Amino acid sequence: MKKLPDTLPLRIIFGVLAYLLLIPFVFITFRYIPNAHWPWNLDRILLFLALVSLITFLLRKRKIIVLVLWVSLLMIPTIGSITNGYGFRQTYRDYKEMIYGVFTEPEPNSTPRDLRPFPHKTKYIQAVDYYNPEVRNYAVSLTTDDSLKKYITDYHEYRRLIQCFAVFRDVNRRWNYVNDPLGQEYLVKASDNLGVFSGDCDDHSIMMAAAIMSIGGTMRLVHTTEHVYPEILIGDKDNLEDVNYIIKQVMFKAESDGKRLHYHIDNQKQIWLNLDYTARYPGGEFMDSEIIAILNL
């Protein structure tokens, strides 16, 4: 193959071209190579360095290959941008998320395998009346907030989760902690709690679970020695980097400043975030880490 002239201006032009287009090349590559989930994203960092080395080698040996490769590669995000697929916007977003994720690794916790039966299971299931029209209308009203529109535009694949986080914000903002009647385990239906948003941890968990489930979220209740709290399913580890960024840099930046995301991994490698009333952001620190029972709703 014929080499291009090796002049200083051409070296500068090809160098700038190659390294400017390195970013989309890296993230398109990341998208199609499985994530090994090494600590601090070391697998991604090593892959990035390998790609930089490859580009440097090609620049020295075959500049025409670099030109053909990058022109071809540039067409991928261009076509993606035109067809609303994986384009320049998503490439830039993934770049920000990966850099942010290197320095803010979420804190994992495993779900125990040996669990007891969930106390008062039937009563909890009946109290989580997410199918009630008033419960759904309440949750739906929170999804029309103008501030959510930009979030959903930027992260359209997480529309449902973003709307669920809006419900979390409102329920926790309104919640008024009140103890049960003396000597009784008193569970309030979500539909009966809409006017007051009050009760203990059981009632909060029921209200949160019902409101989020009414707009399509997947919830479970976690029972510890002296506490009950709700958790939401966000997917698997491939979703965690996106969700970490959405929470800590988009929707709950002030509330989560300087803090980490805490989550549980179940036996199917699915990830659940804490939505307790003690947490100011989804994935806040657990109030009680000893799990004795789980109720999947």
Instruction: Return the minimum-mean-pLDDT range out of 156-170, 176-190, 203-217.
Output: 176-190
Q: Taking the C-alpha atoms of 242, 243, 247 and 250 in order, what is their torsion angle to the nearest 10 degrees?
A: 30
Query: So what's the pLDDT on residue 80?
Result: 62
Q: Using an 8 Å Cβ cutoff, are 270 and 194 in contact?
A: no
Residue 56: alpha-carbon gap to chain centroid: 35
Q: Read off the pLDDT band of 93 (50, 70, 90).
A: low
- For the ranges 10-14, 71-75, 94-98, 141-145, the maximum mean pLDDT occurs at 141-145
18 burial class (0-12, 13-18, 19+ CB within 10 angstroms)? buried
The domains of the chain, with CATH numbers, are 8-103 (no CATH), 108-296 (3.10.620)
Query: So what's the pLDDT on residue 2?
Result: 47
Q: Where does 48-155 show beta strands of DSSP type E? A: 107-110
Calpha distance 245→75 (Å, rounded): 27
Query: So what's the pLDDT on residue 269?
Result: 86
Q: pLDDT tens across 276-287, in order?
A: 998 899 999 888
Q: pLDDT tens across 1-32, in order?
A: 445 555 666 566 666 666 666 666 666 666 66
Strands 198-199 and 176-177: parallel
Calpha distance 150→161 (Å, rounded): 14
Mean pLDDT value of segment 44-50: 76
Instruction: Return the minimum-mean-pLDDT range out of 86-95, 238-247, 258-267.
Output: 86-95
Calpha distance 282→235 (Å, rounded): 14
82 burial class (0-12, 13-18, 19+ CB within 10 angstroms)? exposed
Distances (CA, A) of 194 to 197, 210, 245: 6, 11, 31
Instruction: Return the minimum-mean-pLDDT range out of 101-105, 140-144, 225-229.
Output: 101-105
Query: So what's the pLDDT on residue 172?
Result: 95
- Mean pLDDT rounded to a whole number for the chain: 81
Output the six-digit token pair for 6: 């090796």
